Every structure is written in structure tokens, then in C-alpha cells.
Structure 1
């Protein structure tokens, strides 16, 4: 098998002990060839998050997404089941739905072919003279779709391992947080001028908090209290302890599940390839990323409150406080990550050594090397 130069550079980069590790090579972020490899071996093969299941609460609720070049529809069908299917009409191949909303059926805007919410063809105007036409032959191709801890996960790969098995460790790790019950209160889409991996890595380490986020959350945590354990096959994580300056990051008085330091622990979970979750006892927020060329990233950005805070008399005030903070944090992150992309696009760019606080970044690089170049990863039992 011929390995492209950027993959070869990545394989060399990750084939050292973590204690000697460096950041990934610039071409891993800037190369069109590497992006092609990612789309084929990562985004076409692994599970990707398209949002929270609560966003599709009623039959007919839908959202659209483009995954590795494939337009898809995710919806709640008439029986209440989550489904994903192709968003391409089986007739002249137009895309059909856009954005999100609620529909009783899926109607192609080109010739009016109409599909039921299970993808079966309901009607096709003026097809009665084609003797070979059979409506039963025209069901929209179905795509694997599951709900996992409140998230909608889809994959184009019929052979992808069951995500509940892949992420069983995550469930046990955060079981007392009961993430599936958190209430989503906003969902937005953005496009930033940076590579998707730069934003993913930015999320995976809190080393940058004191500087990049000096105006917001930088002073809420201490670097010496951050714990960055070795990553696992399908995810990595690190934890930080928040002080009580930000009350909503601490467990609500009615929360009796969380005990001791767990009441002020924040988990930063990175589910490969691109679901990034900040989970605190009081609120959560997330990014789900998809590349838009080497120099841009499509971002699904959402979040909300734990049930204790969402159902309290001060819920609206809690939400406004959280959303205002997260918007400011996003502005800071956008500035930092876009600067990184501009920098690593320079002829002078060269990857420096990683801090012990960037362990998740190294594990992420090894995951990418596994997918794109067959790197053999090893995990502690």
C-alpha cells in the first residue's frame, strides 16, 4: 500500500514514547491529500454525532447533515424511532430537505416525488406510463443511527462496532452524572477558519486555559489539579476541578448522587473522531466537528443544564449566565485556533514538544495514525 507523505510523517510522529512526543506535523492539517484520507478512513468509517436526541422529540422532527460528502436526513418517524437515511431523491438525485424542522413526509423539490418518514416511496407524479417503474423499489437508503446517552450517533459504515460496546467505559466513568438527562437549551452551527483537528485538540487540553481564556474561565482551575490519563480506543478525557466562583459548575444542593470532589469535577470528553463534551455537575456544552476543506471546520455547538438547574425556579437566569459565558469562551477559542492554523501554514512552522497536560492530543494523533496509516495502538488494561 502506498502511504501519502503526510500520513508517513504522522506515523513517524506518533512512534515515540509520550514523554518525547511532539505536536502533529503541519501537513497533517494543511494537506488536501491528508483530508481525503480522513474522509475515507475516519468520517466514512466511524460514528459521528449529529446532535442531541431531545432535539427530535416529536414524530416528523428532522435535521440534515453532510457526512463525508453524503447528504443525510435524521428524523423521528411515526413510531417514535430515530432514523437516518439518504437525503438524495431516488429519481433524478436532487437533495431534498434542508436545515431542520418538522415534516409529515419528505418531498423532493424537483419533481415532487414523496417519501414516508420510513423512507418508502409514497407517490411519484406522472410515472404511470413507465412500464418498468415499481414504487416498492425506491426506498431511501437507510443509514445506521443510534441514541447513546442522549446523543444521536450515525455512521456510514455497516460494519462499525456497536457504539455502546465501544464507549462502555465512558458510561461507567460518568454514570453518576447521568448525562442522558441533561436538558439541551441551544443548538447552533458555525464555520471557523481553522482545521477541524486544531479545534479538537484545543478542546482536548486545558493547558491553554490560563492564557487563551484569561478573560473568562482561565482562573477557575489550577493546572496542577488537572488529570490527563492515557487515552482509550474510542475516546480520551481529562478532568479539572472547579472552585465555587462559578456556582453552576458545582453540583446543585438537590443533587445527592455526586459525592466529594465529584461535586466540583468537570469532565472533558473527546469521543473520536469529533464529539467534544464538557460535562460539569451543573451544565454541559459540546462541539461536533466536520472538516470543510483543510482550512475550515463546520461546527455544531450546543449545550444546556443538568436537570436540577433546568427545573429550578432560577432556570432562565442559570441558562443566560451559562450561555453568555460559553459565547465569550467560543470567541476566545476561535481567536486562538484560527491563529494556530495561520501559524502552522507558515514555511517556518515546526512542531514543538508536548506538555504532560497535552496527553489527550498525543492519543488523538495515534488514533488518526491508526485510521489513516494502520498504526498499532496499545492500551493499558
Structure 2
């Protein structure tokens, strides 16, 4: 029986894949990208149990500011309540189960678009028209179920899992690695959402490795990359990472001249953090951008793409100009990435395709595969 025997379940193929040492590793088996059954397991055992990113906390500055998302098929609202606290709530009315809010915005209360049942910002039911003749109706006994949400270093993290360790514990090693950059003080300046025709893991893996940069990004950033000067360390249980030491080509990627706290290479290292399962962060001393990924069937991924600047760069008189230049570059890079990751998914569906051996620069991909294999039970 071979490592990619088609008679095996996708999880068995994946376990066989990561049972090999990294030096002999292949790319993940095709079935883990294309199988509806494997996606259902991912939604149940990964997305419904881990902390997922809904965006940045500073994007919801005022009481009533909200955003919506879906976690493993569960509609969720994240909002700022009247006391300034972040809250997670079910986005389904307790009456006839209509979805309540869509997109982003600001509300004084949450009003169901079907029968106008109205909820306070803490999820309690404020009012329900024409319910006085129902003898079982008790307004105080009906409210929107609460969903766990935390502000972790400025990131809004949400989970359906009541037993998940808090992010401060689960992601303590992230803070040890990049805490000197004080992510919590960075401010978000743009946020976009789009849908790409590929599996969510293809896009995640694309972020995790820089092996593709010289070719996929030959029109933008590829020319500045020397593959033989890159290192990809072994990842940790909750994330993998690698880094690039930048030159002075993009001033915004460096510490601001007024910043005297950061010293040496701290002033110019760009970190690429892949926080499992689906938060991908590029973090520099001057700016950050990130992707938060949500599966939409095996062949599509919903992408939250956003970013902004560190506090000292936000105060710079030319900050908007610098950010506009970086944003324009990132948009071009996204176009290149979209073409590459959609081609990969097309290839995954081909009958003659098969996984090939990994480069030493794809160590993060192997660690990601190991993580997934550990989360899917028998």
C-alpha cells in the first residue's frame, strides 16, 4: 500500500504523509483539498473548536459597531456593547430563526428583519410585538446565545468552543516571538473581503512559504528575493513562522525614525506568522497586513484582507502617502497570488496530478499538515 493509495480515507492519507520525516516529505495528498467529507471534518474539529480571527479590535471603536461572520456554518455577530466591551452573539433570532444582521455597521439595538423582535447590545430581548397572548412567552428568558470573543494583542478572536484555552495561553509563544513590536498598538486602515476559487489550505500554504516568490511575484516583489538566504525554522504547535530582513526600499516596512526603542535588526525584520488554522499575518515595524480565511466548499475560500500601520507611523505627516504605496503593491501581489493558487486547485482536480517532494523552504507547509492531522479524530 503506497502513501497515496486512493483506497485510504483522506485523514489516513494525511497521517501517512506526516509520518515521514520532513526530509522525505511530500505535499499533502489531493484528497484533503478536494473531499467534501474531509472539509466537513475540518469544520467540525478545527474551525468549530479553534480561535478564529474576525478582524482588529480598533475597527469597532464605538458602542453599537458590529461585524458579522460565519464559523463552521454558525452565523455570529461581534459588536462593541454600551460599556465598550467586545461581545460575541448568535446572529439568529430566537423567534423564527432569521439571520439578524449582515456585513458591518452600527446599531443602537439589534432588530430582526422578519418580525422586529428587538435585542439589546448585550443580547437580551428588549421587545417582541404582539406576543402578549402567548401564555408561555417570557421576555427575560429569551436572549441571544453568547459566543466567546477576546481582544488578543488587538486581534478580535472568536471561538464556538467553551473549553478552548484563552488566546493568551494558546498563543503565548507568538507573543514571546514578536511581542517587542506591540501589535496591540497598530491601527487598521483598510479591510476588504473577496472570494477566490481555491481550497482554503492552498491559500494558507501559499502564505506560509516564500519559495514561490521569485516566479509567482516576478512582476512585483520577486526580484528582491534570494531563496538561498532564507531559513524556515520548525514551527510550534499553534503556528509556524519565518522572517525576512528588509532593506530600505520600502520605508514603511522599517521602524519609524522617531522610534528609539527598537534596536538593530528589530528595526527591519518582517515576520510572516501563520496562526492555525487560518490567520496569516505579515508584521513589520511600520505596517501589517493579514488574511483570515473561511472555507466555502472545497473549491472556494472567503478571504478577509486587511492591514494598517504601527502607532508611530500613524502619527507621521506622510503616513497616508506611504500606506497608499504599500497598499497598491499589496493589491498587485494579491492578483498574482490569486492566479497561482487558483491554478493549483485546478491541478489538484486533474487525474494525472500527484503530490511532489517539498523543498527545505516549505517546512511550514509540513508543520501545517502535521497540525491538521493531529486535529481530525478517527
What TM-score do you get using the length of structure 2 for normalisation? 0.96
Structure 1 unaligned regions, length at least 5: 375-381
Name the CA distance, whole Å, in 2 between partners of 1:21 and 1:257.
42
Asked if residue 27 in structure 1 is aligned to residue 21 in structure 2, the reply is no
Conserved? CA contact 1:56–1:62, under 8 Å: yes
Q: Name which of 194, 197, 202 aligns with 2:201.
A: 197
Conserved? CA contact 2:252–2:323, under 8 Å: no
In the other structure, the counterpart of 2:325 is 321
In the other structure, the counterpart of 1:214 is 218
Name the CA distance, whole Å, in 1 between partners of 2:70 and 2:178.
30
Name the CA distance, whole Å, in 1 between partners of 2:23 and 2:156.
36
In the other structure, the counterpart of 1:310 is 314
Secondary structure of the residue aligned to 1:328 is helix
Q: Name which of 221, 239, 246 aligns with 2:243.
A: 239
Asked if residue 57 in structure 1 is aligned to residue 61 in structure 2, the reply is yes
What TM-score do you get using the length of structure 1 for normalisation? 0.96
In the other structure, the counterpart of 2:359 is 355
5 Å-filtered alignment, 1:94-109, equals 94-109=98-113
Tell me the CA shift for residue 369 of structure 1.
0.3
In the other structure, the counterpart of 2:89 is 85
Structure 2 unaligned regions, length at least 5: 1-6
In the other structure, the counterpart of 1:378 is none
Conserved? CA contact 1:220–1:245, under 8 Å: no
Tell me the CA shift for residue 313 of structure 1.
0.7
In the other structure, the counterpart of 1:116 is 120
Secondary structure of the residue aligned to 1:10 is helix
Q: How many residues align?
A: 372
1:72-105 deviation digits (Å, cap 9, x = unpaired) = 1000000000000100000000001011000000
5 Å-filtered alignment, 1:64-75, equals 64-75=68-79
Q: Name which of 352, 355, 365 aligns with 2:369.
A: 365
Name the CA distance, whole Å, in 2 between partners of 1:293 and 1:145.
25
Asked if residue 11 in structure 1 is aligned to residue 15 in structure 2, the reply is yes
5 Å-filtered alignment, 1:28-47, equals 28-47=32-51
Conserved? CA contact 1:230–1:236, under 8 Å: yes
Tell me the CA shift for residue 4 of structure 1.
7.2
CA change 1:257–1:227 in 2 (3 A) is farther
Secondary structure of the residue aligned to 1:325 is helix
Conserved? CA contact 1:176–1:257, under 8 Å: no
In the other structure, the counterpart of 2:259 is 255
Tell me the CA shift for residue 147 of structure 1.
0.5
In the other structure, the counterpart of 1:335 is 339
1:295-331 deviation digits (Å, cap 9, x = unpaired) = 0000000001122222101011011101101100100
In the other structure, the counterpart of 1:379 is none
Name the CA distance, whole Å, in 2 between partners of 1:225 and 1:133.
68
Tell me the CA shift for residue 246 of structure 1.
1.9
Name the CA distance, whole Å, in 1 between partners of 2:236 and 2:306.
25
Name the CA distance, whole Å, in 2 between partners of 1:180 and 1:211.
34
Tell me the CA shift for residue 276 of structure 1.
0.2
Secondary structure of the residue aligned to 1:219 is helix
